[in-house]
Structure 1
């Protein structure tokens, strides 16, 4: 069994056409859950949970309304900001399915039938959050290429635990703190309540940075730390 595992790993190393970069995030102004890896901001009005688990830094946001009145999340005025580049959280995709029929009259009458399947992008700028209820949104339009630009010289040869319980695996590893991380971004989240149709805006800014990154030709499932869908972990693939 051990020999088979070694052979499989060797084949994966030889056949891989991408380098995987596994990233660990930290935050300067949220509460980090050490067990789940999620990041929390909480006050008397709301509880906001961030998770980034998955490929290409998906931003999973959960908002719980603690008030006795509705709250509105304004995604058009909310954004991901990295290196002075802003990406709006306002997006939405509507799946359209149906049938189409047509009739043409010339020298003879012709009929035709078919089907249509399309996606229409619509602005979904607002989300209504009832009192003492929660909503979730996942943003997937962040450009993950921004996270590839860590200078090779910052990586050192190291080892991390295998996900199969075997020997530690060789990787290229880089560690940072909030003062020297090359990958630092902000999440701006705009919420508001209505009082006589007048908006009372509340804006939250949360800061995150990559505190650890390692590169390997093996995917994240091969490493014990990345097999548990933690909220502070995400990975990208860098073409060789």
Structure 2
């Protein structure tokens, strides 16, 4: 069994036409969930969750409305910014889900509950978020090439645990806050309506790569790298 594993790994190394760069993210102003890897910002009005799991740093953002009035997410005035390059959150399909609850007083007290599970396309790039409901959006047009430009001199030879037992050779780089070569921001613009007047609020969240390693093997080969973790993503660098 061990011999077969060595042969398979050798074939993969010889046949690979790409180098995989696995990246681990940290944030300067959100709460990090150590179990799921998600990043959270929460106050009395909203709960915002970020996840970047996948290839080429897809941005999964969920906004939960904690208020008893609607909130609107303005995607045209929201963006992902890295190296002075903006990636708009505008356009696309939104997944709306959540629950609604209410209480009415008449002849006795009545309680009501309802659920929401729908997809809507909003060409105006504004998402309507009902009270106590959530809207989710995924941005997949981020240029993954921006993450390739970590200088080779910043990587050192190391070993990481394999998902099949034993260790695998990699090139590893770790960065402290403020010294990371890749730092980016997310700007979200939300608003409520009062007599048709918008009350705007903008949230800025900061993220940076705190660790990266390169290998000719994909992320599924490393036990410490979870493809579904919100703080993990990977890119392919052509050889």
Interval containing the TM-score (normalised by the shorter chain): 0.7 to 0.9
Match of 2:151 in 1: 151
CA contact (8 A) 1:56 1:235 kept: yes
User: Superposition pairs for residues 172-183 of structure 1, below 5 Å?
Assistant: 172-183=171-182
Match of 1:48 in 2: 48
Q: Which segments of 5 or more consecutive residues in structure 2 lack a partner in the other structure?
A: 94-120
Match of 1:31 in 2: 31
Q: Give the total of aligned pairs.
A: 213
Deviations 1:99-126 (A, max 9, x none): xxxxxxxxxxxxxxxxxxxxxx984511
Superposed CA RMSD in Å reads 1.5
Give the TM-score, by structure 2 length: 0.86
CA contact (8 A) 1:19 1:237 kept: yes
| Structure 1 position 149, deviation (Å) | 0.4
CA contact (8 A) 2:160 2:169 kept: yes
Q: SS in structure 1 opposite 2:224? A: helix
Equivalents in 1 of 2:91, 2:140: separation in Å? 9
| Structure 1 position 2, deviation (Å) | 1.2
Tell me: CA distance 1:124–1:146, structure 2 relative to 1, closer, same or farther (3 Å): farther
CA contact (8 A) 1:92 1:124 kept: no
Match of 1:234 in 2: 233
CA contact (8 A) 2:191 2:201 kept: yes
Give the TM-score, by structure 1 length: 0.86
Judge which range, 224-233 or 152-161, deviates more. 224-233
Q: Which segments of 5 or more consecutive residues in structure 1 lack a partner in the other structure?
A: 94-120
Equivalents in 2 of 1:136, 1:201: separation in Å? 20
